[in-house]
Amino acid sequence: MEKLEHPPKIKIRTSLIKENVRKILNRFNIETVGITKGVCADLKIAKAMIESGINILGDARIRNLIKYKRNFVVDLMMIRIPMKSETDKVIKYTDYSLNSEISIMKELSKEAEKQNKTHKTIIMIDLGDRREGIMPENLIPFLQKTIDLPNLEIKGIGTNLGSFSGVLPTQKNTQKLVELKNKTEKELKTKLPIISGGSTINLKLLEENKLPEQINQLRIGEGILLGTAGTQNRKIPYLNQNTIEIEAEIIEHNKKPSKPKGKTGKDAFGKKQKFKDKGKIERAIVAIGKQDTSPNNLKPKDPKIQILGASSDHTILDITKTNKNYKIGDKITFKPSYSDMLRAFTSPYIRKEYH
Ligand SMILES: *Cc1c(COP(=O)(O)O)cnc(C)c1O
């Protein structure tokens, strides 16, 4: 097939991603698992993480981890609690998994015996976000049923905050995890050496010296990849934000009224749209749409450009206020949020360009 080199494209600056890893590793004394689900386990980005000091790569999809197993020698962590139907692959291709179901752990144990391997697991605790994890008071009975499962090593406990309900980590709720570990170790006369305390949002607590020091592992994706913490609406000041950008090309440039004309129904995605009457405005259409990313959230690098909306393949911009004289064929650069980035990497229509 002919090589297609046209936009839209994702521009990836791997050296800045490496710098983000080094900044986190040098600044904090905590084991950092590099999480790559936001970039569809892009091999060059994963390699950049490893080259800058990451020793464990984590991803939510087993196919991504299988790809890593074929390319890298680092430890691999399955960060979505495993499906029953993939336990054999989890054992075969990964070193660690996060778990919250006894029946799945029994399956993992059986598979590990079959494959003559030992697999390490971290038990997830729900500290309030109400995504995965057992309730703290259930940890001891849970461990009593799983601790002796053959070929499984329970290495510690962990939690995930911020992702589903947006509950933020605090000194108080993370301290709960430490207390739970201490109490459980004492009561069951066991050791839980790892406390995997969370993700990018926990960096804030670390910076403020409020993350209990027994929490010795974080699983970081967004901070490394974009230098941001979306849930906290935060640019992490010591990290690079211009790591990953999206570029699209102008295919129409026209002066048209800002208001649609005619009786309006729902748009192509079932939503009723509203438009302010700003008279005639300068509009540009760029060739990128909902098949490529979530265009409504993108941030144009030229702050005078405003995104009016998007359909599957078109994104409509108001460029009235810009000083630049945009022409057909010009490229517009956008900064993606985490979800824009995730969708862009998932789209087969966007080309990746490494710098
Ligand atoms: C996605 C995910 C992470 C990483 O989150 P970031 O906000 O990208 O740092 C960590 N742990 C689990 C379980 C996840 O699903």
| C-alpha distances out from residue 250 to 245, 253, 269, 295, 314, Å | 16, 7, 23, 14, 10
- Active-site pick, 11, 37, 69, 352: 37
To test the pocket of ligand 1, the residue of 36, 126, 132, 160 to mutate (highest count of ligand atoms within 8 Å of its CB) is 160
Q: How far is the CA of 323 from the centre of ligand 1 (A)?
A: 40
Find where tokens 């006894």 sit: 102
pLDDT at 273 exceeding the cut of 80: no
Give the amino acid at 290. K
To test the pocket of ligand 1, the residue of 123, 126, 163 to mutate (highest count of ligand atoms within 8 Å of its CB) is 163
Ligand 1 pocket, CB under 6 A: 35, 37-38, 60, 79, 98, 160, 199-200, 219-223
Catalytic annotation present for 37? yes
The 10s digit of each residue's pLDDT in 277-299 is: 888 999 999 999 999 999 989 99
- The backbone torsions φ and ψ at residue 185, rounded to the nearest 5 degrees and listed phi first, read -60, -40
pLDDT at 86 exceeding the cut of 90: yes
Q: Give yes or no for a contact between 288 and 279, defined as CB atoms under 8 angstroms apart.
A: no
Q: How far is the CA of 195 from the centre of ligand 1 (A)?
A: 15
What was the pLDDT predicted at 1? Answer: 66
User: Mapped to the 3 state alphabet, what secondary structure does 90-104 carry?
Assistant: HHHHCCEEEECCHHH
Rounded distance between C-alpha atoms, residue 25 and residue 49, angstroms? 11
Half-sphere exposure of 176 (CA within 13 A, CB side): 15
pLDDT interval class at 133 (50, 70, 90): very high
User: CA angle 112-115-116, nearest 5°?
Assistant: 80
The 10s digit of each residue's pLDDT in 222-261 is: 999 999 999 899 999 999 999 999 999 999 999 998 888 8
The 10s digit of each residue's pLDDT in 105-127 is: 999 999 999 999 999 999 999 99
